[in-house]
Structure formats: structure tokens, C-alpha cells
Amino acid sequence: MLKAYACDANRLVPLPLEEAGRALWFDLEDPAPEHYEFVTRHTGLTLPSYANLSEIEASSRLGVDGPVLTLSLPIVTRNNGALESGVCGFVLSPDRLVTLRFAPSTIFTQFPTQPHSTAEHAPAYLFVELLEVIVDRQADALERLREELDQLSQRIFHPRLTGDMRQRHAETELQAMLVTLGRGYNSISFLRDSQLGVARIAPYVLSMVNWLPKPVVARLKSVAKDVSSLNEYSTHLTDKVQFLQDSTLGLINIAQNSLIKVLTVVSIVGIPPTLIAGIYGMNFHDIPELSWRYGYGYAWALMILSAVLPLAWFRKKGWI
């Protein structure tokens, strides 16, 4: 998909492709080869491929050719309520901005509806505004994750789980929480990748080109500071996820150990009665108690006593 925009009265106005020559911003979503060719023909800019944008080394993500910057940034998209990682590329020149995306993103679909600058070097203003929106969305996503983790923490340490782990569904619920924590960790990982991308781009752009307007330079420095604070917050959330994961695994182990303890007590309690029943169940002719009038009741009393005494002893020791 290819869209072209021009600025008019502080608004981005979509242009028909026939008028693309006066566009300030070209937005390509999952572009086809003909889209590459069209934009290159109208702007004279060389556009990077998906393979180039997906490289992880900084030399491939960030490049400059005269006044033209080519930048790559991992972005986070939301699909069916879950965060996913995507790739976004920027080609920035004094008179054009080209963005290349390979996954749908509400950031870019909602961006044209916002007010924008029509000053000189408008593409630079559009570029820094996009970075600001991306950082703002990262902050929003981290805030939602914090709320989810707070709710999950209350569920994990609820007295119903910590006080009575013998409930039927306690272990199943803890396992479901563990899956939720795994998804949260993945989301934080995607956001950290995107934050790292912005943290690389902002100082690189400031150091590699000298045609940026002073307001754009100031806003890029502000973006760098915002991303630095978000990185610290992401570290805090990562630590919290790790703590909750360790706590959940500990509670699961406690539940399993409680079950093993119960089975151990049952097996130990059942050994003496089994031994007594085995002795009196032997088919020998000369068994002293065989002719006793109350032998049957005696055997039952002995088996019951041999089961109750260990239980009383365990309770006295505080083992059960």
C-alpha cells in the first residue's frame, strides 16, 4: 500500500498518486516492487529493502549519504490484543520523508489526522513528530503492562492461593498466571527493542546532519531523554516480571510438595495395618489367635490403632 501526503494548513492531506510530485511524505505499508519504483522515480531517493531494514548491526540500521538519512527502527504493533514486533524504515531528506512498514500500525494510520508543522524543512518536523508518537505509544504500552502486572500480583498473593493450596483449581490458576507472565515478558522485550532503536536514531541524526532546524534538534534531544527514562522503567518492569515468575513457580512447587506430603503420609499410615493384615492372613494351621473368640475384633482394633498412632505422632510434631 502506498500513500502520499502534503501539508496544508497544519494538516496532512492525502494526495492522489497523480499529484505525488508535490508530496512531502510517502508512507509505504508492505510495499510491492512497483511501489519502490514509483517513489524512487518521484523523489530520487534510494529505498532500503526489508532485508536491509531487518539487519541488527548499527551500521546497517543507520546510514547517511550526503543530506539523506536512512534509518531502521523496530516498532511494536498490536494484533488481537497482543503486542508483536515489526520493522519500520525512514528515509529522510530536506524535502522528503519516506516511511516503509511491513506490518499494520495505528501510529501511522492516525498520524495524518493530527496537526503538523508546515514550516521550512517540514519533513524533518514530520520525522521528529513520528518519533515522539512512537515513544508516547511505548510509554502507554508500558503503563498498561504495569497495570496488568499489579493485578496479577494481587491474584498471585491472594490468601486463597497462599493460604490454602489444596484447592482444586489453585495449581491450574497459577499455571495460567505463568503463561500471562511469559506474554508480558515478550511484550517488554519488544518494547525494549523499539526503545533501543529510538535511542540510537536520535543522537545519530543529531550528529550526522547539520540542516535540521533548531526546534527539531531540541525535540530530538527531548526524545532521547524520554527514551532513557523509559528504558529505566522497562528494567523495573522486567525485574517485577522476574519476581512474579519466581513467586508463581514457588507457589506451584509448594502445591506439588503438599500433594507429595499427603501421599507420603497416606503410604506411611497404611504400612502397619497392611503388615498386620498380612500376618493374620497367612494360611498356616497353627496360628495362636486363630481360635480366639474375639480374634477378628482384636485384629481390627490392632490395625486401626496402628494407623491412628502415626497420625497422632505426625500432628504432635507439626508435620500435618
Beta bridge partners of 85: 76
Q: What is the dihedral of CA 204, 206, 208, 210, to 10 degrees?
A: 170
Residue by residue, DSSP assigns 36-56 as HHHHHHHH-PPPPPHHHHT--
* Cell of residue 78, nine digits: 498490536
Q: Return the beta strands (E) in 93-194 as ranges.
A: 97-101
Q: What is the pLDDT of residue 165?
A: 47
CA distances from residue 68 to 22, 43, 87, 212 in whole angstroms, order as listed: 18, 12, 20, 12
Q: What is the pLDDT of residue 222?
A: 92
Q: What is the pLDDT of residue 267?
A: 80
All structural domains of the chain: 2-256 (3.30.460.20), 281-317 (no CATH)
SS3 content of the chain, % helix, strand, coil (to 5): 65, 15, 20
Q: How far is C-alpha 228 from the chain's CA centre?
A: 19
* Cell of residue 236, nine digits: 523495573
Q: How far is C-alpha 94 from the chain's CA centre?
A: 37
* Cell of residue 188, nine digits: 517488554
Can you give the pLDDT of all 320 residues of the chain as single tens digits?
A: 888 888 877 778 888 888 878 888 899 888 888 988 888 888 888 888 888 888 766 666 788 888 889 898 888 887 776 777 888 889 998 888 999 988 888 888 888 877 766 555 688 888 999 999 999 988 988 998 999 888 888 887 776 655 554 555 667 777 788 888 888 888 888 888 888 888 888 899 888 888 888 888 999 999 999 998 998 899 999 999 999 888 888 877 877 777 777 777 778 788 888 888 888 778 777 777 777 778 888 888 888 888 888 888 777 777 66
Q: What is the pLDDT of residue 3?
A: 87
Report the chain's terminal Cα–Cα distance, integer Å: 67
Cβ density class 186-225: b for 16+ within 10 Å, e for less:
ebbebbbebbebbbbbbebbeeebeebbeebbebbeebbe
pTM for this prediction: 0.76
